[in-house]
Amino acid sequence: MQKGSIRVQTENIFPIIKKFLYSEHDIFIRELVSNAVDATQKLKTLSSIGEAKGELGELRIDISIDKDKKTLSIADKGIGMSAEEVDKYLNQVAFSGAEEFLEKYKGQNEASIIGHFGLGFYSSFMVSDKVEVFSKSFKEDTTGVRWECDGSPEYVLEENKKEERGTTIVMHLNDESIEFLESQRVKTVLEKFCKFLPVPIFFEDAQINNPTPAWTKKPADLTAEDYQAFYKELYPFSEPPLFWIHLNVDYPFNLTGILYFPKIKQSYEIQKDKIQLYSNQVFVTDEVKEIVPEFLMLLHGVLDSPDIPLNVSRSYLQGDPNVKKINAHITKKVADKLEEIFNSDRKSFEEKWESLGLFVKYGMMTDDKFLDKANKFFVMEDTTGKFFTREEYTLATEVLQKNKEGKQVILYTTNPVQQDAFIQQATNKGYVVVKMETLVDAAFINSLEMKWENTQFTRVDADIAENLIDKQESNESVLNKKQTEKLKSLFDKPMDGMHLTVEVKGLSEGSVPVTATRPELMRRMKDMAAVGGGMAAFYANMPDEVNLTVNGNHPIFKTILAEKEEAKQEKLVKNLADLALLSQGMLTGNHLTSFINRSVELMTEKE
């Protein structure tokens, strides 16, 4: 029997390991199972080059609980260790056996080794009063060994009668960690971290992992059904995805994975952190914002890269040039895929636009390289259901929708039902109105006006149709100057919380008598203030700016002007103004009550 002290740089590293090495205690299962996988993969490598003799048998990892003894055990049938190797690898903290093995067998593809830090094994002491290791090397003429440590620097190393090749780690759980004697708790952790490890893992006589997930296979070997099935494996309760991108890069970095575009019907359904990051099939994290551009955080799927640098606990990403390269590569692959679908099957692309639009718009706002590519496949749907690229919209509206400054005016609606009257007026003039109905569109429009030259977005209800495109055209009404001034004075009355501007125009007799509109710039500022953007408090407290456009050619005004009682004139005019405000959703509270009472009065008044 050999006794001694663990050879470490500090007097006692174990309290540090227990408290600070890992952010979550359940990670010890990931680390120990990963080590078991490493040991199994090493054996496969040595067997393939003739250094390990004999039959390998069934290579698997078994996890078991003994509630009576308060132990959790992890057993593999991998490479195993001799007494000398146990002394070398377990008694010298942070000396990485995996790194030494990789250096020796560099170039052997089978050596897919996870551990890089040599500290994974010691995570077992976060949950244990005592840890035992039983091991037997694959080498001939070696005996089994048993190592024991109680979390102090003191250890015991002795011969053991273990007959089967491999290593079993037995953790005698401490009182704070008895939760890991519950099978459901262990199963949950295994399914989180070990679901796709490349060696079969068994717990309670059932295999809990898929050792050959779709992303580890060649795209040519997978069908659409395979991709759909894997998505179901990742997200059992989700609708089928729109499509997917299979990543397979080996230079200048290693990256594999599958990214799926999920169906998103409404922008409030957006869920981030659905992409899982793996390192050689070991789950690391679902916080991948350094690797994946922010606008693609809406995607679902898996990324796997041994080249992404991780800290000692493998829990957080560290800054590295490879991360930036991977980020740029993913952006390019997504843009290329979208362009490919747009070019090859535009109808299908347009059918998926309700969901795709969110990704594309986020990307165009936040990534200029993506914006350059997206200009080719970004589409806008008009109120008749027709789709336009930016170039197509420009061609279709070049004559009618250029203002006096030569800017292309893109007319849009945020609510086709509520803004229907304005849409009809605009389309009657030959204008094309596109839909911008999602939560991101307000920010998107502001962003594009800065990035697209000579382009201006104007909401269809920002003014009457005749004024939407500023061409300095005048519309004289049939009223004389005196009648016009009288009409204007009747409308131009103060209103609490609102700054009214009245304009009398000569529109067609069929147009509504009065139209209420909110100027585009001020409305945008108020909208931003409502969600706390920019100078929120300043704009939120400002009165609403409202333009009242009075159609002097409407026959109703001849009747009103002929009315002898000014009080009745004022009531009729006030009702017309309130109807216009009501249609814009701007008549509320006591103003709405007054309108109702006044309407009843007018209907019951005797001639």
At 116 the pLDDT is 46
- The CATH number covering residue 580 comes to 1.20.120.790
pLDDT at 576 over 50: yes
In a shared domain, residues 131 and 202: yes
Q: Is the pTM of this model over 0.75?
A: no
Reported confidence tier of residue 534, pLDDT bands at 50, 70, 90: low
Average pLDDT, the chain: 83
Q: Are 334 and 341 in contact (CB under 8 A)?
A: no
DSSP structure string for 539-568: HHTSPEEEEEEEETTSTHHHHHHH-S-HHH
Reported confidence tier of residue 347, pLDDT bands at 50, 70, 90: very high
Instruction: Give the chain's count of helices (H) and strands (E).
Output: 20, 22
561, part of any domain:
yes
Mean pLDDT over residues 543-564, rounded? 83
360, part of any domain:
no
Lowest mean pLDDT across 268-272, 325-329, 410-414: 268-272
In a shared domain, residues 556 and 494: yes
34, part of any domain:
yes
DSSP structure string for 222-252: --HHHHHHHHHHH-TTSPPPSEEEEEEE-SS
Considering 182, 207, 232, which residue would you say is the last residue of a domain?
207
In a shared domain, residues 52 and 153: yes
In a shared domain, residues 51 and 167: yes
476, part of any domain:
no
Q: What is the pLDDT of residues 38-76, one digit of tens each?
A: 999 999 999 988 888 888 889 999 999 999 999 999 999
In a shared domain, residues 18 and 139: yes
Q: Which two tokens stand for residue 43?
A: 């054996």
Mean pLDDT over residues 251-272, rounded? 76
364, part of any domain:
no
E-only strand ranges, 55-127: 61-66, 71-76
SS3 call for 374: helix
Q: What is the spatial distance between Cα 335 and Cα 344, in angstroms, rounded to a whole number?
A: 14
Considering 179, 207, 235, which residue would you say is the last residue of a domain?
207
What's the longest Cα–Cα distance across the chain? Answer: 120
Reported confidence tier of residue 251, pLDDT bands at 50, 70, 90: confident
Mean pLDDT over residues 5-26, rounded? 58
Q: How many domains does the chain have?
A: 4
In a shared domain, residues 397 and 433: yes
pLDDT at 354 over 70: yes
In a shared domain, residues 186 and 235: no
Distance from the first to the final alpha carbon of the chain: 117
Q: Which helix (H) or strand (E) holds 149?
A: strand 144-149
SS3 call for 27: helix
DSSP at 166: E
Q: What is the spatial distance between Cα 25 and Cα 20, in angstroms, rounded to a whole number?
A: 10
473, part of any domain:
no
In a shared domain, residues 293 and 384: no
How many CA atoms lie less than 13 Å away from 366 in the CB half-sphere?
15
In a shared domain, residues 313 and 332: yes
pLDDT at 420 over 70: yes
In a shared domain, residues 199 and 226: no
Q: What is the pLDDT of residues 430-489, one digit of tens each?
A: 999 999 988 888 889 999 999 998 999 999 988 888 878 876 555 666 678 888 888 788
Query: 549 vs 135, 416, 571, CA distance in Å?
Result: 88, 21, 18
Q: What is the spatial distance between Cα 190 and Cα 202, in angstroms, rounded to a whole number?
A: 10
In a shared domain, residues 61 and 183: yes
Residue range(s) defining the domain that contains residue 564: 481-604
Top mean pLDDT of 116-130, 193-207, 357-371 is at: 193-207
Closest CA to 545 of 502, 514, 510, 512: 502
355, part of any domain:
no
- The CATH number covering residue 59 comes to 3.30.565.10
In a shared domain, residues 93 and 201: yes
367, part of any domain:
no
